[in-house]
Amino acid sequence: MPERRSRRDLTLRAGLAVLALLTLATLLAPVLVRADPELALDPAATALSPPGARFETLRLAAGYELAAPRVVRSGDRFRLEGRGREREVPASAVDPARPLGRVKFWLGTDALGRDVAARLLHGGRVSLAVAGASVALSLVLGVPLGLAAGLARRRLDTLLLGTIETAQAFPRLFLLVALVAIVPAGVGTTVAVLGLTGWMPVARLVRAETRRVRASDFVLAARAAGVGRTRLALRHLLPNVAAPVAIEASLAMGAAVTTEAALSFLGLGVPPPVPSWGNLIADARGLEAAWWVALFPGLALVATVIACGLIGDALRDRMDPRRGALAG
Amino acid sequence: MAKVLARRLSIAAALVLAVVTAAFLLVEALPGGPGALPEDPRVPPAQAERLRAAWGLDRPLGERYVRFLLSALGGDWGPSLAQHRPAAEVIAGALPWTLLLSGTALLIELAGGLALGLAAARRPGGAFDRASSVGTLALRAVPGFWLALLLLSAFALRWPLAPAGGVSTPGLDGGPFARLADLAAHLALPALAIGLPAAAGAARFVRAALLEIAGEPFLAAARARGLTPRRVLFGHALRAATAPLVQLLGFSLGGVLSGSLAVEVVFAWPGMGRVVFDALAARDYPVLVAGAALSAVAVIAASALAELAHAALDPRVRDA
- A68: closest CA among A92, A103, A118, A39? A103
Would you say how long chain A is, in residues?
328
The Cα A281–Cα A261 span in angstroms is 8
Tell me which of B54-68, B277-291, B306-320 is least confident: B306-320
pLDDT of residue B89: 93
User: Which of A170, A293, A296 to probe the B interface (max B CBs under 10 A)?
Assistant: A170
Whole-number pLDDT of residue A191: 94
pLDDT tens profile A179-195:
777 778 889 999 998 99
Nearest-by-Cβ selection for A181 from B31, B152, B265: B31
Domain boundaries, chain B: 94-319
Answer yes or no: is pLDDT of A4 > 80: no
What is the distance of C-alpha B140 from the center of its chain? 17
Q: Is the pLDDT of residue B320 over 50?
A: no
Chain A contact probe: residue of B128, B134, B146 with most A CBs at under 10 A: B146
Please say whether the structural domain B94-319 has been given the CATH code 1.10.3720.10.
yes
pLDDT interval class at A7 (50, 70, 90)? low
- pLDDT at residue B31 in the model: 67
Distance CA(B128)–CA(B126), nearest Å, equals 6
Cross-chain Cβ contact A266/B261 below 8 Å: yes
A159–B contact, CB cutoff 8 A = no
Partners of A256 on chain B (C-beta within 8 Å) are none
pLDDT bucket at B33, cuts 50 / 70 / 90: low
Contact between A82 and A69 (Cβ < 8 Å): yes
User: Residue B140: pLDDT above 50?
Assistant: yes
Query: Average model confidence (pLDDT) for chain A?
Result: 84
Residue to substitute from A120, A157, A177, interface B, most B β-carbons within 10 A:
A177
| Probe site for chain A from B30, B81, B149 (most A CB atoms < 10 A) | B149
Q: Flag whether pLDDT at A311 surpasses 60.
A: yes
The confidence score (pLDDT) of residue B203 equals 93
Q: Residues B312-316: what's their mean pLDDT?
A: 69
In angstroms, the CA B112 to CA B100 distance is 18
pLDDT, tens digit, 9 for 90 and up, residues A83-116 = 667 788 887 777 777 778 888 888 888 888 888 8
Interface check for A126 against chain B (CB to CB < 8 A): the answer is no
What is the distance in angstroms between the Cα of B66 and the nearest Cα belonging to chain A?
20
Contact between B22 and A166 using a beta-carbon 8 Å cutoff = yes
Count CA within 13 A, CB hemisphere, residue B183: 12
Residue A137 — very low, low, confident or very high, per pLDDT cuts 50/70/90?
A: very high
Cα–Cα distance between A308 and A297 in angstroms, integer? 17
Closest alpha carbon within chain A to B296: A169
Cβ distance of B153 and A301 shorter than 8 Å: no
Would you call A179 an interface residue with chain B, using a CB distance cutoff of 8 Å?
A: no
- Give the pairing type, strands A77-81 and A70-74: antiparallel
What pLDDT is recorded for position A125? 92
CA distance A253 to A139: 11
B314 confidence band (pLDDT: 50, 70, 90): low
pLDDT at residue A326, rounded to an integer: 41
Q: Chain B contacts of A322, Cβ < 8 Å?
A: 215
B131 touches chain A (CB under 8 A): no
- pLDDT band for position A322 (cuts 50, 70, 90): very low
Is B226 an interface residue toward A (CB < 8 Å)? no
| A306:B212 CB<8 A | no
Q: Which residues contact B39 (CB under 8 A, 6 or more apart)?
A: none
Could you give all domains of chain A from N- to C-terminal order, each with its CATH number?
53-105 (2.30.30), 116-327 (1.10.3720.10)
The pLDDT tens digits of the residues spanning B169-224 come to: 887 777 888 888 888 999 999 999 999 999 999 999 899 888 888 778 888 888 88
CB contact under 8 Å between A288 and B149, yes or no, is yes
Q: What is the pLDDT of residue A328?
A: 33
Highest mean pLDDT pick, A158-162, A228-232, B254-258: A158-162
pLDDT digits (tens, 9 = 90+) for A256-290: 999 999 989 988 889 888 899 999 999 888 777 78
> How many CB pairs below 8 Å do chains A and B form together?
139
Q: Which residues make Cβ contacts (< 8 Å) with residue A149, sequence separation at least 6?
A: A156, A157, A160, A161, A164, A203, A207, A210
Put simply, whether A1 touches B (Cβ < 8 Å) is: no
Please state, in angstroms and as integers, the Cα–Cα distance from residue B286 to each residue in A33, A176, B79, B206, B289, following that order.
47, 16, 7, 40, 5
**Chain A CA closest to residue B154:** A288
Nearest CA in chain B to A285: B149
Work out the minimum CA distance from A151 to partner chain B, whole angstroms.
22
pLDDT-above-70 percentage for chain A: 94
Residue A266 has its nearest CB partner, among B153, B265, B295, at B265
CB A316: neighbour CB atoms within 10 A? Answer: 18
Instruction: Find residue A100's DSSP bridge partners.
Output: A58
Q: What is the pLDDT of residues A20-44, one digit of tens each?
A: 999 999 998 888 887 678 877 888 7
- Say if the Cβ atoms of B30 and A178 lie within 8 Å: yes
pLDDT of res. B113:
93
Q: What is the pLDDT of residues A56-77, one digit of tens each?
A: 888 887 877 888 888 888 878 8
Q: Which residue has the higher pLDDT, A135 or B248?
A: A135
Residue B313: its pLDDT value, please? 73
Nearest CA in chain B to A310: B137
Q: Distance (Å, rounded) from C-alpha A300 to C-alpha B303?
A: 33
| B142 vs A: CB within 8 A | yes
pLDDT, tens only, A261-270: 998 998 888 9
pLDDT reported for residue A302: 95
**Phi, psi of B159, deg, nearest 5:** -115, 90
3-state secondary structure of B209: helix
Which comes out higher in pLDDT, residue B311 or A119? A119
CA B275, A164, B13, B285 torsion: positive or negative? Answer: negative
Confidence of residue B55 (pLDDT cuts 50, 70, 90): confident
Q: Indicate the pLDDT class of residue A17, thresholds 50, 70 and 90.
A: very high
Closest Cα in chain A, distance from residue B176 (Å): 32
Residue B145 has pLDDT above 60, yes or no: yes
Q: Is-contact B284 B137, C-beta < 8 A?
A: no
Number of Cβ atoms within 10 Å of the Cβ of A183: 10
Residue of B nearest to A176 (CA): B280
**ipTM here:** 0.84
Q: Hey, are the CB atoms on A171 and B292 less than 8 Å from each other?
A: yes
